[in-house]
Structure 1
Amino acid sequence: MSNYPAERAHEVAELLRQAGVPLLVHQPRYSIFDRTPETSGLLKLAAEDGFGLVAYSPLAQGLLTDKYLDGTIPAGARAAASAFLKPDQLDEHYRERAAALNEIAKQRGQSLAQLALQWVLRQPEITTALIGASSTAQLDHNVAALDFPPLTEEELSRIDQHGIHGTGQRQPTGASR
């Protein structure tokens, strides 16, 4: 299943269990900038109900890559032509937070994308992360995230300071961040 809130996911898991069918996978959106599986209790529920989570959009539509760090939108980039990512999402708040996360990544000798993937995959409930690689080189680069040492508690704390839920997401008119 995909995008079910935690309460509903538990109901589905129970119904399937009663029918003798195990729930194996739930597919939520999860990234440093979208913490919903943490705040909704879905990570805890997955552990309790015994299903894995396949995170989609772990790079937040490219916001957790170096693509937009300089404030420009490269030709052919998702923000140039996507219904899911618009240029106005690349605001000052995003750039400040992404630059700080990029600095943490550089200190670890990795890219922002590799840091973001490693951060998502550190959760034992996350069985895999779906990445939208557009080339084999990009795929190889992202898979290399698995080669870095685990994130330390200090690094996780620093990531939490800058990886704020809702960063880069479209805000309703008049909403503040």
Structure 2
Amino acid sequence: MTYRAAPGRYETMQYRNAGRSGLKLPVISLGLWQNFGGARDYPSAFEILGAAFDAGITHFDLANNYGPPPGSAEELFGQVMARDFRPYRDELIISSKAGYNMWEGPYGEWGSRKSLIASAEQSLRRLGLDYVDVFYSHRFDPKTPLEETMGALATLVAQGKTLYVGISNYPEAETRKAHAILQSLGVPCILHQPSYSILNRWIEDDKTIDACGELGIGMIAFSPLAQGVLSGKYNTGETDGARGTSNNPFLKADRIKPETLDAVGKLGVIARARGQTMPQMALAWVLRRPELTSSLIGVRTLNQLKDNLGALDNLSFSAEETAAIDSAVAGGLTPSHPKWW
């Protein structure tokens, strides 16, 4: 059966400019990390992807190593593009990244010109596309001159292989330097993609969020639910399929502090008073900052997608609610500053 996008798909979604660029992103974007790898069949994947686009989610975020196994998320999305999304290519924002380990040898990770350009070529082949809309340097490389890494991004723009470029996981000082280099090359840095959540506020502590606001770089937060911790599932024990019970190296259930679970329990009381689920409040909290263009969600099921979209019904916070949230998490914060070097 031929897919036809819902005619009212732009009626309820909200869109924000990516920094000072003209590119608008939906305030909720869909990331394909972890949940759209080789174990996901096409029908169950497209059930979510199609429903997301029908709800106005135009931005689908990928990277070369997303899976598992690495590359499989791009391959799956390439099938979706070929079979169902092709007529809507000009309505979609598709992003990819390079920087984490992808293939054997010295060129399969980090930020050299060799690595980034080779990875971008591979990603385009997997996706079956001539270009992506945004291509990121996935992490700062302390052993490669930043001029080389940013120069590679500028080359990809000049070659027509990406329309825009961004950075991900860059601390404040490196963010400023990357922006300056790209500006000198005539290529704006329009997006920064860091981890950010009620529990993980490193971009506030590090002042990266302030730098992005000053420089006109939009921010798109990943892990706004702190790898599922802010769903409340680890408090209730309903963890079937949860990332903390998988091989996810970024979260293990036995590493979640009791203080963090206590904080989540207190947050649940605040969410219910707002008439929201925990995920809805967590997404709204991230988007309360004007520097934030979008929040990336990673869902396993259609029900999770629908619940997350409910955040759109209430994105504002009173001063009292913000203070209550800060008080609730005072002892349970889990900062995750990206010190890769």
Q: Which residue of 1 aligns with 2:63?
A: none
TM-score, with normalisation over the residues of structure 1? 0.89
> Partner of 2:203: helix, strand, or coil?
helix
Q: Which residue of 2 aligns with 1:57?
A: 223
RMSD: 1.7
User: How far apart are 1:141 and its partner, in Å?
Assistant: 1.0
CA distance in 1, matches of 2:188, 2:332: 32
Q: Which residue of 2 aligns with 1:78?
A: 243
1:131 is the counterpart of 2:289: no
CA distance in 2, matches of 1:57, 1:23: 22
Question: Which one has a bigger Cα radius of gyration?
Answer: 2
Check 1:168–1:155 CA distance in 2 against 1; reply closer, same or farther (3 A cut): same
- Aligned AA for 2:243? R
Q: What is the aligned counterpart of 2:253 among 84, 87, 103?
A: 87
Q: Which residue of 2 aligns with 1:12?
A: 178
Q: Which residue of 2 aligns with 1:175?
A: none
Q: Which residue of 2 aligns with 1:173?
A: none
Check 1:93–1:66 CA distance in 2 against 1; reply closer, same or farther (3 A cut): same
Deviations 1:44-84 (A, max 9, x none): 111111110110000000000021122x3522221111221
User: How far apart are 1:168 and its partner, in Å?
Assistant: 5.1
Check 1:51–1:165 CA distance in 2 against 1; reply closer, same or farther (3 A cut): farther
Verify the 8 A CA contact 1:28 1:55 in the aligned structure 2.
yes
Count of residues in Structure 1 that have an aligned counterpart in Structure 2:
169
User: How far apart are 1:164 and its partner, in Å?
Assistant: 4.0
CA distance in 1, matches of 2:253, 2:189: 38
User: How far apart are 1:165 and its partner, in Å?
Assistant: 8.0
Verify the 8 A CA contact 1:35 1:165 in the aligned structure 2.
no
Q: Which residue of 2 aligns with 1:37?
A: 203
Flag the structure with more relative contact order, 1 or 2, with Cα contacts below 8 A and sequence separation at least 6: 1
Check 1:118–1:165 CA distance in 2 against 1; reply closer, same or farther (3 A cut): farther
> Partner of 1:127: helix, strand, or coil?
strand
Check 1:165–1:145 CA distance in 2 against 1; reply closer, same or farther (3 A cut): farther
- Range with bigger deviation, 144-153 or 159-168: 159-168
CA distance in 2, matches of 1:2, 1:100: 31
Verify the 8 A CA contact 2:191 2:220 in the aligned structure 1.
yes
CA distance in 2, matches of 1:31, 1:87: 18
Structure having the higher helix fraction is 1
Check 1:47–1:57 CA distance in 2 against 1; reply closer, same or farther (3 A cut): same
CA distance in 1, matches of 2:329, 2:307: 22
1:119 is the counterpart of 2:285: yes
Runs of 4+ in 1 over 3 A off after TM superposition: 164-170
User: How far apart are 1:157 and its partner, in Å?
Assistant: 0.4
- Aligned AA for 2:203? P
User: How far apart are 1:144 and its partner, in Å?
Assistant: 1.1
Q: Which runs of 5+ in 1 are unaligned?
A: 171-177
> Partner of 1:142: helix, strand, or coil?
helix
- Aligned AA for 1:158? A
> Partner of 2:231: helix, strand, or coil?
coil
Q: Which runs of 5+ in 2 are unaligned?
A: 1-166, 337-341
User: How far apart are 1:169 and its partner, in Å?
Assistant: 6.6
Check 1:2–1:149 CA distance in 2 against 1; reply closer, same or farther (3 A cut): closer
TM-score, with normalisation over the residues of structure 2? 0.47
Check 1:52–1:149 CA distance in 2 against 1; reply closer, same or farther (3 A cut): closer
CA distance in 2, matches of 1:64, 1:155: 17
Structure having the higher strand fraction is 2
Deviations 1:61-118 (A, max 9, x none): 0000021122x35222211112211122333212210000010001111111111100
User: How far apart are 1:148 and its partner, in Å?
Assistant: 1.4
CA distance in 1, matches of 2:170, 2:335: 19
